[in-house]
Structure 1
Amino acid sequence: MDKDFVNWRWKPEKCELPRFNPHKFLQLVGGRKLGFVGDSVARNHMESLLCLLSQAEVPMDTYKDSEDRFRTWYFPLSNFTLMTFWSKFLVKSEERMVNNTNTGSFDLYFDEVDEKWASKLPGLDYVIISDAHWFFRRNYLHNQGKLIGCVYCNEPNITELGLNYSLRMSFRAALKYINNCKGCKDMVTLVRTFSPAHFENGAWDTGGGCNRTSPQRQKANEELENTRFELELRRLQVEELNRANKEGEGEGKRFRALDITRAMLMRPDGHPGEFWGNRWMKGYNDCVHWCMPGPIDAWNDFLLAVLQKEVESIT
């Protein structure tokens, strides 16, 4: 109902962050391929980039799978390819079924990445890895053919390892796979840090909503900072990125952070909320994804700045 969320803009404390320039971005990535790997928030990010780039050049929609999970667009004038690869957990996963009915619980296998995205990596110049929101459920964790624990299962004789552990090990497996990928020479991997949700007065399925119409004040955000679980998830993602960088030294692989967590903690006003128009899930608020145009476009301000710095470092 309000439109103010399109006017607010995050500003760093000690520098100016230029607005996204689609012409400059396409010039920077001309002749290259960029892929997004992750869940629907990764798709949300990709769609923001697609919309922004379409202001400069109309892309060709060249591929869509039957479930609309894997997509490819091609910008012919710039010879730039933009792709998105769906993955809930980055690693191999299987949903548990009871009487042929979905349970919403998954078995995760940390020694096997999800081949659906991993097989697409060779030939990419840039890949943006992100994931987290599917981990907030009962999951069973496996490694080397053994059940090693669970998340939110509260079952006898199974160790509760926790959300943080499962997220860390999934990112570790994904980044290790990239480091060992023979067809990924000189590829730049960006880890997009955790995108916070802003449910209040309940979770997504217990009546929670997000009705704020202005950003969180910086002082209030700082007071909460030491207790925010989102920053703990961001921290472990950055730790795994640094681990991958160290392990990949001398191999030509580069891992960088696309660090959006703190900035987005301040934007509870930027979600679709009750106005997301989903015909399958009526009555639920969407306080996870982001309106477009809106705060998520800032992620591409960050993306352009990071890629430009990366290109300048090797020229």
Structure 2
Amino acid sequence: MAFIGDSVSRNHVESLLCLLSQSEVPKDMYKDSEDRFRKWYFPIHNFTLMMLWSRFLVEGEERMANGTGTSVFDMQLDKVDSDWAKELPNLDYAVISDGHWFFRGMRLHEAGKQVGCVYCNEPNVTAYNVDFPLRKALRTAFRHISGCRECRRRGMVTVMRSFAAAHFENGFWNTGGYCNRTGPRSESEVDFGAFDWQLRNVQMEEFERARSEGGGRFEVVDVARAMLMRPDGHPGEHWGNKWMKGYNDCTHWCMPGPVDMWSELLLAVIKKVSASHHLHQI
């Protein structure tokens, strides 16, 4: 099983490792220099767990100026990120999620030509909101998976996890935003007209498209509604990052905490898939 996505995806993996380690402590098999690609093995259960880090699911390179990152990315909306795609034929389950990296300046490319941008103001270039490149990236990723013959032969299941909103108040992460609530919101307090919910709907639409187009088994773990209600579940100022003192982390999730619930839902999906496969064999 591989988790494919950004650092919130890694947050899920770390939570899952804590849960699974109560049954068996895994062997740490691989870690790259930036701690973005990881592999663990549970020998008693013959289970391999991987983290495949990807900002956008598609190719995206940061523009540099004098050797320093500009936080502006050139996105190839029609080219899947090969760093994770090359691992697909080896997987039984691919858990895909993304979204938070799309809130950056972007120059959007298709077929080698710039087709638009995000957070920009350029003459004769169409400006898009974040949901546009997210939709395109998911469609490219899902179509690549659907076209993977080895994946179909293996019976690989793709599980999409929906967007888990951040909860910054009175600013963003770099402008003094914080999250110091101590209890969950009720459903009536959640704004389902918010942009976070729109991103979840884009994901669900692309998931349904992938499922209807065929070519693979697609399932969903939809955490968006539940996580919108948990502004109290983030590390906030207590995340202990020595490189970014003074900033609050209102994007990732405390452990133990609400993120553990994601694995309960994932287990329910796996059980459903396994039961369906067993009935099909009968």
Determine if the TM-score, normalized by the shorter chain, exceeds 0.5: yes
In the aligned structure 2, how far is the partner of 1:202 from the partner of 1:195? 18
The answer to which of 304-313 and 287-296 deviates more is 304-313
Which structure is richer in relative contact order (CA contacts within 8 A, separation 6 or more)?
Answer: 1
- 1:211 maps to 2:180: yes
Tell me if 1:64 matches 2:31. yes
Letter in 2 for 1:133: H
1:237 is aligned, of 185, 203, 206, to: 203
C-alpha displacement of 1:65: 1.2
Show the counterpart of 1:24.
Answer: none
Deviation at 1:111, TM superposition (A): 1.5
Same amino acid, percent of matched pairs: 59
Secondary structure of 2:151's partner?
coil
- If the length of structure 2 is used for normalisation, what is the TM-score? 0.96
Residue 183 of structure 1 deviates from its aligned partner by 1.7
5+ long unaligned stretches in structure 1: 1-33
Aligned to 1:42: 9
Distance 1:217 1:246 in 2: 34
Structure 1 CA distance for aligned equivalents of residues 264 and 125 of structure 2: 44
Structure-to-structure mapping, 1:161-310, within 5 angstroms: 161-185=128-152, 186-221=155-190, 224-225=191-192, 227-248=193-214, 251=215, 253-310=216-273
CA distance in 2, matches of 1:290, 1:161: 29
Partner of 1:314, secondary structure, is helix
**Aligned pair count?**
276
Distance 1:301 1:66 in 2: 31
Aligned equivalent of 1:311, options 263, 271, 274: 274
Letter in 1 for 2:128: L
Report how far residue 211 of structure 1 moved.
Answer: 0.3
Q: Map of 1:87-126 to 2, 5 A cutoff?
A: 87-126=54-93
Pairing of 1:76-91 with structure 2 (within 5 A): 76-91=43-58
What residue is the counterpart of 1:153 in the other structure?
120
Displacement of 1:154 after TM fit? 1.4
- What is the root-mean-square deviation of aligned Cα atoms in Å? 0.8
Cα offset for 1:276?
Answer: 0.5
Paired with 1:66 and 1:203, the residues of 2 have a C-alpha distance of 29
Cα shift at 1:62:
0.6
Q: Where has structure 1 moved over 3 Å in runs of 4 or more?
A: none
Match of 1:55 among 13, 22, 30: 22
User: For 1:4-32, what per-residue CA distance to the aligned partner results, in whole angstroms no more than 9, with x for missing partners?
Assistant: xxxxxxxxxxxxxxxxxxxxxxxxxxxxx
Offset, 1:218: 2.2
Distance of 1:196 and 1:207 partners within structure 2: 18
Counterpart code for 1:236:
V
Pairwise CA distance, 1:310: 1.2
Rounded to whole Å, the distance in 1 between the matches of 2:187 and 2:113 is 46
TM-score, normalised with respect to structure 1: 0.86
Displacement after TM superposition at 1:123 (Å): 1.7
